[in-house]
């Protein structure tokens, strides 16, 4: 996976670049950035058009559907905050796909790591019943990160040491994780007071992860943003990240040049899984207050879409998670006002995914946008690549 | 007499019956995936195709009253999804694994969207052959009830092995999957062969989906498939890309999938979710055992990205 332009959609402005780059360099950078942002934006436009055709054929009033989606996602302060609440876990689960992608791995095990992270966080909260809320919340986050991290690290280790295909194993482990979750929540860990919906004992009001002051958005959003920024710094600005990128380019060459490939793979996967595990902890601590099947709503799978849409760029994940979170948030309104099925947003997500992947083929194909055009020296191309 | 039979043989009978019932979708999807992978592509979207097939078959059977029309329609929806996958993969820089994930999500979303009105009504189901008619024991008869679809699947497995080993076109598919450059040099249209193999593979996966909604469990719901399409992909690796071995592997997976219901049928209800995990755990363990970091697997098409 070669990355986006300089910083993707959240690149340092061209003015900042100008001070330290030559004219040709600037041009190349701006064009690469324009392409890196323009293609996904065009893809989003095309996807919405195709989606409109789809719901139109299904008998819906298309302009009304678009309007309700906007209203449900960004139309009011309330709906925008709802969007951000949904974006928070998506940022974390997207990292679960995006970080291993730097190594050339396609890991789609975010759902399993989220579910088990939620379970571990709940167990931690129960074990520390009555302790200071800070202690409880930190332990919950740590437990979620450890279990989620271990779960995905296993996938990475099997890939690095035994050549087990990580895509299939991660997806299988999602089902196994959900099985373990359901067994414990409906069996040994079930709160007898939860009648219709098997749940664990609540973690307690005192231990709830609260809202960011002045908003209704919980602190999980801050976790998500911090994790994405940290992942960006680690994968794009450190020696470790550089080593990961070398492995992603050519694992055999990396091995020959003395990099500890299995160790780097396992550590990256552990961090990726830790992010998804924290997403599970956030859902328990901030949203549900207990572990039950309401947690399994596909944040892990939607995170894959977010990662691909952001072209696996850790900072690109931030705006994309807000967009996809908004689409998810509008689902309820579409059901109520347009009488469309709840799977409507899944259809749009599927279309988006396919259009974005197909759009990859157009990269570097636009004459005006191609940084490879005549007159751009080799060094600039290398620079643009390195910045990516 | 029949009570005694059920007492001693209850569990094994339920397992055999379950294996015969549950294995059919695995069989069709794995045969389809085997064909696709022999041509050098991986289609992870088979899970989406399976669910689209299940929904389509149920809808068509409900509207037309003919379950076999439903099976056919499911197959053609599978062709559509396979063709979409094949076409997307011909675009430069588009990765077949990623397209598969995308098609899986699209297929599931579309099936749930279009299938919403189908949750309530009852569609005409496929009828079954009673291979156990000789027995006067009800559990034996129940266990040996099989659909014509299952028998068709067995026939397809042997036919496909014949196709790969004895026919000219089968050889062409294998050449394309082993070495695309060599195939091109020999003048074979690599892109078109892969397109045909992926579309035909989609047909089989769609038919597999029709079994889910029209025979067992035999109705349309959103919880109908839970990863069978995906396990079938792993199953092909386990079967070393051999159609007949896909049949044996499907029976094994079907048996594993039947553990939970079989235990339930003899009154063991606790830990249901753990028993339900059996096929996933089996797949996972088999993948670990059969993979190797050092050598490529015997029988693996060399163009395949699944084991880069």
Chain segment A90-114, per-residue pLDDT in tens: 999 999 999 999 999 999 999 999 9
The pLDDT of residue B273 is 87
The pLDDT of residue B95 is 86
Q: Percent of chain A having pLDDT more than 70?
A: 88
The pLDDT of residue A382 is 52
Do B63 and B193 form a contact (C-beta atoms < 8 A)?
no
| Least-confidence region, from A290-299, A325-334, A379-388 | A379-388
Distance from CA of B239 to the nearest CA of A (A): 15
B12: pLDDT confidence band, cut at 50, 70 and 90?
Answer: confident
The pLDDT of residue A386 is 52
Mean pLDDT in residue range B181-192: 94
**B81 vs B36: CA distance, rounded Å:** 13
Contacts of B133 (CB under 8 A, 6+ apart): B141
Using a CB-CB cut-off of 8 Å, the residues of chain B touching A165 are: 237, 287, 291, 306-307
Distances (CA, A) of A79 to A72, A145, A325, B233: 6, 29, 11, 41
* Among the listed residues A290, A283, A230, A249, the one whose alpha carbon sits nearest the alpha carbon of residue A103: A249
The pLDDT of residue B295 is 65
The pLDDT of residue A5 is 38
Contact between B274 and A361 using a beta-carbon 8 Å cutoff: no
* Among the listed residues A246, A251, A303, the one whose alpha carbon sits nearest the alpha carbon of residue A277: A303
Do B246 and B198 form a contact (C-beta atoms < 8 A)?
no
The pLDDT of residue A325 is 96
Using a CB-CB cut-off of 8 Å, the residues of chain B touching A342 are: 112
**A320 vs A323: CA distance, rounded Å:** 5
Q: How far is CA A27 from the centre of its chain?
A: 31
Distances (CA, A) of A288 to A202, A273, A324: 9, 21, 21
Lookup: tokens for A231: 């992942």
Strands (E), B108-213: 129-130, 145-146
**A246 vs A386: CA distance, rounded Å:** 12
Distances (CA, A) of A212 to A82, A215, A223, A269, A290: 13, 6, 11, 30, 21
User: Cβ of A226: how many Cβ atoms within 10 Å?
Assistant: 11
Using a CB-CB cut-off of 8 Å, the residues of chain B touching A344 are: 113
Mean pLDDT in residue range B108-137: 88
Facing B105 at nearest CB: one of A163, A165, A353: A353
Nearest chain A residue (CA) to B222: A343
The chain-wide mean pLDDT, for chain B, equals 89
Provide the residue count of chain A: 388
CB of A357 less than 8 A from some CB of B: yes
**A200 vs A188: CA distance, rounded Å:** 9
The pLDDT of residue B2 is 43
* Among the listed residues A346, A340, A279, the one whose alpha carbon sits nearest the alpha carbon of residue A85: A279
Contact between B288 and A158 using a beta-carbon 8 Å cutoff: yes
Contact between A172 and B284 using a beta-carbon 8 Å cutoff: yes
Backbone torsions φ then ψ of A211, nearest 5 degrees: -90, 150
The pLDDT of residue A34 is 83
Number of Cα atoms under 13 Å in the Cβ half of residue A324: 33
**A269 vs A265: CA distance, rounded Å:** 6
Domains of chain A, CATH where assigned: 1-60+344-388 (no CATH), 64-339 (1.10.3470)
Facing A304 at nearest CB: one of B91, B92, B101: B101
Q: Which residues of A7-41 are buried (b: 16+ CB within 10 A; e: fewer)?
A: bbbbbeeeeebeeebeeebbbbbbbbbbbbbebbe
Facing A179 at nearest CB: one of B44, B274, B293: B274
**B219 vs A36: CA distance, rounded Å:** 45
Domain segments of chain B: what residues? Answer: 2-290
Facing A165 at nearest CB: one of B111, B270, B306: B306
Using a CB-CB cut-off of 8 Å, the residues of chain B touching A154 are: none
Distance from CA of B179 to the nearest CA of A (A): 21
Contact between A164 and B277 using a beta-carbon 8 Å cutoff: no
Tell which CATH architecture fits domain B2-290: Orthogonal Bundle (1.10)
* Among the listed residues A181, A81, A168, A176, the one whose alpha carbon sits nearest the alpha carbon of residue A121: A181
Q: Which of residues 60-99 of A touch B (CB under 8 A)?
A: none
H or E element: which one contains A35? helix A23-57
Do A207 and A74 form a contact (C-beta atoms < 8 A)?
no
pLDDT at A213 over 70: yes
**A182 vs A371: CA distance, rounded Å:** 52
Mean pLDDT in residue range A50-78: 94
Q: Which of residues 174-203 of A touch B (CB under 8 A)?
A: 175-176, 179-180, 182-183, 186-187
The pLDDT of residue B88 is 95
If phi > 0 it is left, if psi is from -120 to 50 it is alpha, else beta; for residue A238 that is: beta
**A31 vs A301: CA distance, rounded Å:** 32
A383: pLDDT confidence band, cut at 50, 70 and 90?
Answer: low
Question: Which residue(s) pair with B134 in the sheet?
Answer: none
Strands (E), chain A: none
Mean pLDDT in residue range B61-67: 94
Q: Which of residues 125-184 of B touch A (CB under 8 A)?
A: none
Mean pLDDT in residue range A120-145: 95
Question: pLDDT tens across A164-212, in order?
Answer: 889 989 989 999 999 999 999 998 999 988 888 899 999 988 899 999 9
More confident residue, B272 or A271: A271
CB of A366 less than 8 A from some CB of B: no
* Angle at CA of residue A177, ends A175 and A179, nearest 5°: 70
Pairs across A and B, CB distance < 8 A: 143
**B265 vs A103: CA distance, rounded Å:** 47
The chain-wide mean pLDDT, for chain A, equals 88
* pTM for this prediction: 0.88
Lookup: tokens for B178: 């082993």
Distance from CA of B89 to the nearest CA of A (A): 9
Contacts of A310 (CB under 8 A, 6+ apart): A8, A94, A98, A316, A317, A319, A320, A321
Distance from CA of A187 to the nearest CA of B (A): 8
First and final C-alpha spacing in chain A: 11
Backbone torsions φ then ψ of A82, nearest 5 degrees: -60, -40
The pLDDT of residue A367 is 52
pLDDT at A370 over 80: no
Contact between A167 and B101 using a beta-carbon 8 Å cutoff: yes
Contact between A358 and B94 using a beta-carbon 8 Å cutoff: yes
pLDDT at B9 over 80: no
Q: Percent of chain B having pLDDT more than 90?
A: 56
H or E element: which one contains B90? helix B67-90
Nearest chain A residue (CA) to B278: A176
Distance from CA of A386 to the nearest CA of B (A): 20
**B150 vs B210: CA distance, rounded Å:** 12
The pLDDT of residue A26 is 82
Contact between B291 and A162 using a beta-carbon 8 Å cutoff: yes
pLDDT at A148 over 90: yes
Tell me if residue A218 falls in helix, strand or coil.
Answer: strand
The pLDDT of residue B47 is 94
The pLDDT of residue A356 is 92
Lookup: tokens for A116: 């088990």
Contacts of A383 (CB under 8 A, 6+ apart): A25, A28, A29
Mean pLDDT in residue range B191-214: 96
**ipTM, interface predicted TM-score of the complex:** 0.91
Lookup: tokens for B287: 């993948």
Do A279 and A255 form a contact (C-beta atoms < 8 A)?
no
Distance from CA of A214 to the nearest CA of B (A): 36
> What sign does the CA torsion over B232, B237, B241, B246 have?
negative
């Amino acid at each position: 996976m070669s990355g986006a332009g300089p910083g993707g959609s959240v690149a340092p402005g061209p003015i900042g670049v100008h001070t330290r780059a030559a004219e040709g360099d600037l041009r190349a950078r701006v064009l690469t950035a324009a392409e890196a942002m323009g293609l996904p934006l065009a893809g989003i436009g095309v996807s919405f058009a195709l989606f409109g055709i789809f719901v139109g054929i299904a008998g819906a009033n298309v302009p009304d559907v678009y309007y309700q989606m906007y209203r449900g996602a960004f139309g009011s302060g309330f709906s925008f905050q709802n969007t951000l609440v949904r974006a928070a876990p998506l940022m974390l689960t997207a990292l679960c796909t995006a970080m291993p992608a730097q190594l050339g791995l396609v890991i789609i095990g975010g759902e399993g790591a989220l579910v088990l992270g939620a379970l571990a966080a709940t167990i931690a909260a129960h074990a520390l019943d009555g302790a200071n809320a800070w202690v409880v919340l930190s332990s919950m986050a740590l437990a979620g990160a450890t279990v989620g991290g271990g779960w995905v690290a296993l996938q990475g280790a099997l890939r690095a040491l035994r050549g087990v295909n990580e895509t299939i194993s991660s997806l299988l482990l999602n089902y196994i994780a959900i099985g373990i979750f359901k067994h414990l929540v409906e069996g040994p860990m079930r709160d007898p007071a939860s009648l219709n919906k098997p749940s664990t004992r609540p973690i307690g009001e005192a231990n709830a992860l609260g809202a960011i002051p002045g908003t209704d958005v919980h602190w999980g959003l801050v976790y998500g943003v911090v994790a994405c920024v940290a992942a960006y710094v680690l994968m794009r600005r450190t020696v470790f990240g550089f080593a990961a990128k070398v492995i992603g380019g050519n694992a055999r060459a990396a091995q020959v040049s003395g990099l500890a490939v299995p160790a780097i793979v396992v550590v990256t996967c552990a961090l990726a899984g830790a992010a998804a595990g924290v997403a599970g902890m956030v859902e328990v601590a901030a949203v549900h207050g207990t572990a039950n099947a309401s947690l399994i709503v596909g944040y892990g799978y939607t995170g894959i879409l977010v990662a691909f849409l952001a072209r696996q760029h850790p900072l690109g994940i931030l705006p994309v998670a807000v967009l996809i979170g908004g689409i998810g948030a509008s689902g309820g309104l579409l059901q109520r006002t347009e009488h469309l099925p709840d799977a409507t947003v899944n259809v749009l997500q599927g279309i988006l995914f396919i259009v974005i992947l197909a759009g990859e083929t157009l990269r570097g194909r636009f004459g005006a946008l191609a940084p490879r055009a005549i007159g751009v020296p080799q060094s600039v191309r290398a620079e643009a690549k390195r910045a990516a | 007499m029949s009570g005694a039979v059920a007492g001693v043989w209850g569990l094994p009978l339920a397992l055999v019956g379950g294996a015969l019932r549950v294995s059919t979708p695995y069989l069709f999807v794995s045969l389809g995936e085997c064909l696709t992978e022999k041509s050098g592509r991986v289609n992870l979207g088979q899970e989406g195709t399976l669910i689209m097939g299940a929904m389509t078959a149920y809808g068509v059977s409900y509207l037309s009253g003919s379950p076999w029309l439903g099976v056919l329609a499911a197959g053609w929806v599978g062709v559509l999804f396979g063709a979409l996958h094949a076409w997307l993969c011909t675009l430069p820089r588009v990765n077949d694994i990623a397209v598969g994930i995308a098609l899986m999500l699209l297929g599931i979303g579309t099936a749930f969207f279009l299938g919403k009105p189908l949750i309530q009504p009852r569609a005409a189901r496929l009828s079954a052959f009673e291979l156990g008619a000789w027995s006067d024991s009800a559990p034996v008869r129940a266990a040996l009830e099989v659909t014509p679809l299952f028998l068709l699947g067995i026939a397809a497995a042997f036919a496909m092995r014949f196709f790969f080993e004895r026919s000219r076109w089968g050889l062409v598919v294998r050449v394309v999957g082993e070495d695309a450059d060599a195939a091109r040099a020999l003048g074979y249209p690599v892109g078109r062969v892969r397109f045909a193999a992926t579309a035909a593979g989609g047909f089989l996966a769609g038919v597999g989906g029709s079994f889910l909604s029209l025979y067992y469990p035999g109705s349309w719901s959103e919880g109908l498939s839970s990863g069978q399409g995906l396990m079938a992909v792993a199953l092909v690796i386990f079967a070393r890309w051999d159609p007949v071995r896909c049949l044996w592997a499907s029976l094994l997976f079907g048996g594993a999938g039947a553990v939970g219901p079989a235990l339930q049928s003899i009154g063991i209800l606790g830990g249901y979710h753990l028993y339900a995990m059996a096929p996933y755990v089996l797949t996972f363990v088999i993948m670990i055992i059969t993979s190797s970091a050092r050598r490529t697997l015997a029988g693996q098409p060399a163009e395949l990205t699944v084991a880069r």
